[in-house]
Each structure stands twice: as structure tokens, then as C-alpha cells.
Amino acid sequence: MHLTIEEVSSLLNLPLGTVQRWIRQGKIPVYSFEGEYVFLEKDLRKWAKSRHIVLSSKSTGTADQNSKQKCRLVAALQRGGVLRGVAGDDISSILKGLVESAPLDHAIDRDELFIRLIEREELSTTGIGRGIAIPHPRSPLENAPAEPCITTCFLDRPVDYGAIDRLPVFVLFLMLSPSPDIHLMLLAKLSHLLRRPSFLDLLKSRPSDEKLLSIADEMETEMDTAHRSSKPEDVF
């Protein structure tokens, strides 16, 4: 299970600043994702045991369950909606049109979001190949929505997105999450679907909103059922 730095601080019964100092000093197992610190619970417990550190008896189960409830992919897709015919000749114009048209929470500053998305693209392209891009801020927005949302955007025509396979992008999934933990869970689920040839073919057919959500729901349910049956140590 993935843990946020706040959850680790709670488990260790230490101030957040102390955990941050330990990270800088390399004293605690952690890895970085999109500029945020993410911990694996099994690594943290192994590290704590080796140092005779007693973790809080407070179970992470409640936080984990809340995250799982927020991490229904189809719910995030439904909240984000589907855009069609967004036009543009380059990444900047495409993202501008996407940000202006997406049904975002009213608290989100669209100008700030656009800047954050461009900054992320300058770091490295979010074009993952096969004509797909997953733009997102490097870290949650200051006024990030309480519930994650993913806006599906079918472009008016494919555009060069600097993807590693050099194929032009025809569909984007704009991801906005309230925390790195939820972002990771949703990204894992979305990536799993996008690796399926049948789902990619569905996207190429530019399906109706209802069909897209229906198929995504079926595949996510199948994926969750398989996961429960296999009972892996970690969620992803």
C-alpha cells in the first residue's frame, strides 16, 4: 500500500518536519513520484522493525479504504466528462483548449492549471505512446478537488506530442487528484486499461460517452475482481 508523508508522520508519531528532515538525510525509505514523496507500507514497517521503532497502533486501513473509495476510475472519468473536437497545432494550444473547455471545479484557477500542465510537459512529455497522453500537474493544485476527476479529450485532429513512439496523439486524459496517493492508484488503473488492445480500439472509434463509461466500468470491475482473487502484497 502507498502512504503519503502525512500518513507516515502519523504512524511514527513524529512532526511532519522531522519526517521531512529524515528524507533529506536519507534515513527513511522513500521514493519520489512527480515531485512528491511516496512510501510503501511494507518497506516502512520493515525499516521500523530493523530499528526497533514502534509504529502507531492506528491502522492505515481507514485511510486506505477512503482512498480506494475515491479511486474508482469510472467515477473519476464520469466527473471529468468527455470533450470532443478540441483543436490545436501544438501541445500548448491543445492544453489551453482543454483547460478552457473541461468541466472543472469552480475553485480551480484555470490559468494556474495551464501553467502547471506546461511545466510538467517541459519536464518530460506525458505522451505515453499509441496516440495517448495523460497530462497532469506534478503535484496537487492548491485548490484541488476533493474528488479526483479525469477529463477525456478527443482531439479534432492528431497532434505531435513528442511521445516516445513518435505517434501523434489523438486522445488525452487530463488527471486532477487531491493527493499523490490517489493519483498513483488512478494512474495504475488507467494505464492497465490503456494497455488493452480492445480498449485502445474503443478509443479510436471515438465512442459515445455512455459506451466509454460502460466499457471502462466493466473492465475496472474485472480488474478489481482479479486483484481480490490474487491477493497481492501491494495494491499496485
Residue 64 reports pLDDT greater than 70: no
Domain boundaries, the chain: 2-60, 69-230
Q: Which fold has domain 2-60?
A: Multidrug-efflux Transporter Regulator; Chain: A; Domain 2 (1.10.1660)
- In the chain, the percentage of residues whose pLDDT exceeds 70 is 88
CA–CA dist 180, 3 (Å, integer): 9
Residue scoring higher pLDDT (70 or 169): 169
Q: Are 172 and 91 in contact (CB under 8 A)?
A: no
Catalytic residue, from 106, 136, 183, 192: name it. 136
Residue 233 reports pLDDT greater than 70: no
DSSP 116-177: HHHHHHHHS--EEETTEE----SS--TT--SS-EEEEEEEEEEE----TT-PPEEEEEEEE-
Residue 236 reports pLDDT greater than 90: no
pLDDT at 231: 46
**pLDDT tens digits for 72-121?**
899 999 999 999 999 999 999 999 999 999 999 888 999 999 999 999 99
Nearest to 172, CA basis, from 213, 126, 219:
126
Where does 69-230 sit in CATH, by number? 3.40.930.10
To which residue does cell 480498449 refer? 199
69, 188, 199 from 209: Cα distances, Å: 22, 22, 14
pLDDT at 226: 73
CA–CA dist 100, 85 (Å, integer): 13
Question: Is there a catalytic annotation at residue 52?
Answer: no
**pLDDT tens digits for 123-132?**
999 999 999 9
- In the chain, the percentage of residues whose pLDDT exceeds 90 is 53
Record the cell numbers describing residue 108, joined without a space: 480551480
pLDDT at 141: 83
pTM of the complete model: 0.70
**pLDDT tens digits for 14-57?**
877 788 888 888 889 988 766 677 888 888 988 988 887 878 75
pLDDT tier for residue 228 given thresholds of 50, 70 and 90: low
